[in-house]
Amino acid sequence: MRHETAPIEPRVSSQSFGLATLVKSGICAAVGLTVLLQFFLVEHFNLNSAETQARLQLLQLSWQMRDSLNRVIARTIGEVRLMSELDQVRQARRPEDVRPVLKSLQNSFPDYAWIGIAGPDGKVFAATDGLLEQVDVSMRPWFSQGMKGLHTSDYHPAVLLGNLLKSSSPEPLRFVDVAGPIKDENGIVRGVLTVHLSWDWARRRARNLLVPALREYGAELLVVRDDGVVVLGPEPMLEKKLATESLSRAQRGETGSTRETWPDGKVYLTGYTQTGLDGESPALRWSVLVRQPEEVAMAGPHALGRWMLVASVLLGIALAAIGALLVRRYLTGPILMLSGAIETAVQDGAGVRGKEIPLVDGFHEAQVLSHALRDLVQREDEQRRALEAMNEQLESTVAERTAELRKLLMHDGLTGLPNRRALMQALPEAMRRADRLGKPCAVIFLDMDGFKTVNDTYGHEEGDELLRQFGARIAQAVRKTDMVARLAGDEFVAILELLADRADAEEKAHRLLPVLREPYVLKTATVVVGASIGVAVHQPGNARDLDALLSRADHAMYAAKRAGKNRLVVDSA
């Protein structure tokens, strides 16, 4: 009689051991792959989001510096153009007749280091504080070019004024010059008016702009001249040539951000843009670069990645241990029960009969595996949902930050009104609507009278509050469909649409004068200021010249100021 116990026992034991090992290995592999997938996906979105946010911050800083440079150069060009047309300047016969006018302009913006008038012979006729009077400046570029027309001289060191002017900062004196011809009533050039703008204003703006960024992000701001020379930036790079991809893009007029290797061998995230006034021939073209070491920008995300890797490994070990316990409880046990039943039946000598074998083979094992698979799938779904929720949160955060940046770009931070950028987008649309509907639109240029006195007397906080109330009154006095924007300082612009005619524009603008003359209740005082208002009307069918319309309103406003302030002048064009 043959014994089958010996061959059956090792075969059953081998199958049981192999199945348990295979299932345990499969569970460990599935858990490991799931954890790795989760780690790599989260790491990918985390790094991409962090880099995108860092680039947007750098680009925003470059925009702010660019706008500051543009505003000051535009202001200087406008004041040189305006001053050269004043009768008191054009008809001056003695230096003492015009010197107070020059000093008044210098007091309005202390960074005007020197303002002078040179005669056609190249000698300085009059100047602030009498500096360089009767000195021959005919060989200076600002004089030769200023005789021909409005001219700006780029960043340069002090030549004649180096030993005469005192600087409040340790940096060397550097200037940007704006010069224009002085013509008589017959159009004959009688001299050149020039303003030497101290470069200290750009240095201060860069320091004020980057104080929080340097502390939090380690960013550096550079301003590069059109010939590639660094005129503002880290001390080792000042007045030296620079060549980077971001600079080349900025000089081509592009705006954006990039990842690049700089001459020092380090990798930086760089935001870049270019200055320049559209349509203004004497505008200066500077490239504004804001850079940040990549290792600094991505330090936080990389630290988070390392933490997530450790957490993922620990989670994988924990899940693998749980899987092994489940295999032993719900899979190995039933198989051992089956093998024990077979072994008992063989040892009893009764042979293996179907009715003696528990209904475990196949059915019970499939049931256990289905429960295990269901558990794994459930875990994977939970992890996927958690990952999707995390991704949605990341996308929502990026969208919120993007919306905040867009709002900062289009609104004035002090008054909450639309800024110059928003105005320049809205005005062309208003002109198109005027042409389409056959109803004129108007630009109202308002400049507060007496703001400097309030600001100097009661301080900048009260001055800021006055600006907020002033802007709010303008917005409340016009229709909700009209737009009110703050350009800079105490200058505001309103766009009125759907007007009946020029008289309608003038009547609506006149309503603002008494409203703006009412007292303003500040924290420490109650003040009264006025407004000089210039109005320019765009008639349907006229050329849609945005700059010309703003210039007409601006000139009308200055005409109101010259006529005695707190009044309104309508452009006659």
pLDDT in tens, 367-408: 554 555 455 546 766 777 888 888 888 887 777 776 667 777
Distance CA 310, CA 316 (A): 10
The per-residue pLDDT for range 84-93, each reduced to its tens digit, is: 899 889 888 8
Handedness of CA 414, 526, 444, 439 (dihedral sign): positive
Q: Tell me the C-alpha distance between 441 and 495, whole Å.
A: 7
What percent of the chain shows pLDDT beyond 90?
A: 48
The DSSP H or E segment spanning 194 is strand 189-198
Q: Which residue has the tokens 């270019």?
A: 274
Q: Which helix (H) or strand (E) holds 217?
A: none
247-to-60, 204, 269, 286 alpha-carbon distances in Å: 17, 23, 13, 10
Looking at residue 419, what is its pLDDT?
94
Which residue, among 474, 477, 449, 454, has the nearest Cα to 464 in the 3D structure?
A: 454
The answer to whether the beta carbons of residues 458 and 476 sit under 8 Å apart is: no
**pLDDT recorded at residue 3:** 45
Distance CA 441, CA 550 (A): 12
pLDDT at 392: 83
Per the model's pLDDT, the better-predicted residue between 230 and 316 turns out to be: 230
- Average pLDDT of 142-153? 91
pLDDT in tens, 59-106: 888 898 888 888 888 899 999 999 989 988 988 889 999 999 999 998
Residues tagged active-site? 490
Q: What is the mean pLDDT of residues 427-436?
A: 95
Of the two residues 217 and 82, the one the predictor is more confident about is: 82
Residues whose CB falls within 8 Å of the CB of residue 350, separated by 6 or more in sequence, listed in order:
356
Mention every residue, 6+ apart, whose C-beta is less than 8 A from residue 509: 442, 444, 496, 533, 535, 568, 570
Q: Give the pLDDT of residue 377.
A: 44
Please check the confidence at residue 268 and state whether its pLDDT lies above 90. Answer: yes
Q: Are 195 and 115 spatial neighbours (Cβ–Cβ below 8 Å)?
A: yes
Would you kindly state where each structural domain of the chain is located, as residue ranges? 85-202, 354-398, 420-570
In the predicted structure, residue 327 carries a pLDDT above the cut 70: no
HSE-up of 196 (CA within 13 Å, CB side)? 24
Mean pLDDT over all residues of the chain?
A: 82
Range of weakest confidence among 112-126, 184-198, 339-353: 339-353
**Helix (H), strand (E), coil (C) string for 410-423:** HECCCCCCECHHHH
Q: Give the CA count within 13 Å in the CB-facing half-sphere of 92.
A: 29
What pLDDT is attached to residue 284? 82
Question: What per-residue confidence (pLDDT) applies to 27?
Answer: 65
Dihedral sign for Cα atoms in the order 539, 542, 547, 551: negative
Q: How many CB atoms lie within 10 A of CB 358?
A: 13
Q: How confident is the model at residue 12 (pLDDT cuts 50, 70, 90)?
A: very low
Better-predicted residue by pLDDT, 265 or 387: 265
Beta bridge partners of 494: 444, 484
3-class SS of residue 27: helix
How far does Cα 174 stand from its chain's mean position? Answer: 28
Q: Which of 62-71, 279-288, 326-335 holds the top average pLDDT?
A: 62-71
Kindly tell me the burial class for residue 94, based on how many C-beta atoms sit within 10 Å of its own C-beta (0-12, 13-18, 19 or more): exposed
Taking 80 as the threshold, does the pLDDT of residue 416 lie above it? yes
Q: What architecture (CATH level 2) is domain 85-202?
A: 2-Layer Sandwich (3.30)
Max mean pLDDT among 149-153, 328-332, 405-409 falls in 149-153
Fold of 420-570: Alpha-Beta Plaits (3.30.70)
Mean pLDDT of 180-184: 92
DSSP symbol at 130:
G
pLDDT tens figures, 525-572: 999 999 999 999 999 999 999 999 999 999 999 999 999 999 999 998
Model pLDDT, residue 361: 54
In the predicted model, what is the mean pLDDT of residues 456-468?
95
Please tell me the predicted confidence (pLDDT) of residue 11: 45
